[in-house]
Amino acid sequence: MTSRVVVTLDGVVQDPTAPVLHADDLGAVRGDGVFETILIRDGKACRLDAHLARLASSADMLDLDEPDAEAWRAAVSVAVAEWERTGSGEGAMRLYLSRGRESDSGGAPTALVTVSEVSERVARSRAKGVSAMTLSRGYSIDAGETSPWTLLGAKTLSYATNMAALRHAARAGVDDVVFRSTDGHVLEGPRSTVLSITGRRMVTPPVEHGVLRGTTVDALFEIAGDAGFSTEHAPLRVADLILADSVWLVSSVTLAARVHTLDSTTYRERPTDRIVRDLVDTAVMR
C-alpha cells in the first residue's frame, strides 16, 4: 500500500484513508486557498523557513489570515516524524490552507499537512532530465502590477491552467512547459522555476514579472558564488534560453531537472551539470 501521512494543524495524525475535507471546502470547490510543497529528506523538511514565509506571502495576497508559523512548524514536525516511522525514504510534503467552508463564512480555515511518496516522474526527471516546450501564459509581464486580482506570484490552489498546460505538452510527447509572456519574456514552469546558465552565470526571471519566488533557486543562489558562479534575477527571452549552455527547471521536490530539449533546441551535457545538481542538493539541506 502506498504510504501517506495526514496531520491537521493541531498536530493530530489523521487516518490517511478517511475523508478530511468537507464537500463545501472552498479550496476544493473554488481553489480559494494556498499551498506549499516541501521535500522531506534525511528526516528534515527542507527549507521550511522559506516555505512558511512564502505561504504567508501567498495568504496575504488572498486576504487570508496570517498563518500561525509556530503551529505549522509543530504540525510539520509531527508529519515528518510519522513519515520517518513508515521508513518510506524521501517524501513530498504539502501544506494546504484554504478559506474554509462555503457554508461557514468567516469560519476557521482548513489547514492540513500531508506527505506522500516522491513520484517516479520526479526520480526520472532528476536522473534523465526533461524535454520542454514554450507556451504563452496569456498575459504580459506587468499583469501582476496592473491587475493584482490575478494573484500572480501567489502559490494558489487554482492550478487548473498549469495542469492543462502539462496535459497539452504530454499530448505532444513533451515532458514539461516553459511559460512565456505575451511580450516575449520567459516566466516559469507550471511547477518550477526556470534557470538559465551560460558559462558561470546563472540567471532566473525576476519576481516583478509575476512569477512565483523560487525557494530552491534562492537556496542555490545563496551558495553558488562560493562555487564560482555569478547569480542574477534578470529578464530572459526565449532566445536567451536557446543560446544558453544549459536550462534547468528547479523546484522543491524534483530539485534540478536539466532541460535536454526545448522546442527544437537540444542541449548537450556539460561538465557543470553535475556541479549544478550537487549545489542544489547541498543548498536545500542547509
Q: What percent of the chain has pLDDT over 70?
A: 99
**pLDDT for position 2:** 65
Does pLDDT of 198 surpass 90? yes
Instruction: Indicate whether 149 and 72 sit together in one domain.
Output: no
Split into its structural domains, the chain has a count of 2
Average pLDDT estimate for 233-240: 98
Instruction: Indicate whether 67 and 145 sit together in one domain.
Output: no
Instruction: Indicate whether 203 and 62 sit together in one domain.
Output: no
Instruction: Indicate whether 59 and 113 sit together in one domain.
Output: yes
Tell me which of 94, 117, 140 is where a domain ends.
117
Q: What is the DSSP letter of 67?
A: P
**pLDDT for position 106:** 87
Instruction: Indicate whether 107 and 159 sit together in one domain.
Output: no
Residue 179 CA neighbour count, 13 Å, CB half? 25
Q: For the residues of 27-47, what is the DSSP string, one character each?
A: HHHS--EEEEEEEEETTEETT
* Residue count (the chain): 286
Torsion angle, alpha carbons of 226, 49, 36, 274, to 10: 20
Instruction: Indicate whether 226 and 128 sit together in one domain.
Output: yes
Instruction: Indicate whether 150 and 179 sit together in one domain.
Output: yes
**pLDDT for position 282:** 98
Tell me which of 93, 117, 141 is where a domain ends.
117
Residue 50 CA neighbour count, 13 Å, CB half? 22
Instruction: Indicate whether 214 and 278 sit together in one domain.
Output: yes
87 — pLDDT class (breaks 50, 70, 90): confident
Q: Where are the beta strands (DSSP E) in the chain?
A: 4-8, 13-14, 33-41, 44-45, 91-98, 110-117, 130-136, 176-180, 193-198, 201-204, 230-233, 246-251, 255-262, 265-266
- Tens of pLDDT, residue by residue over 255-267, are 999 999 999 999 9
Domain span at residue 23 reads: 4-117
Instruction: Indicate whether 169 and 36 sit together in one domain.
Output: no
Instruction: Indicate whether 141 and 11 sit together in one domain.
Output: no
Q: What is the DSSP letter of 139?
A: S
Domain CATH code at residue 75: 3.30.470.10
Domain CATH code at residue 262: 3.20.10.10
Tell me which of 98, 117, 136 is where a domain ends.
117
What is the rounded CA–CA span in Å between residue 63 and residue 82?
Answer: 32
Instruction: Indicate whether 26 and 149 sit together in one domain.
Output: no
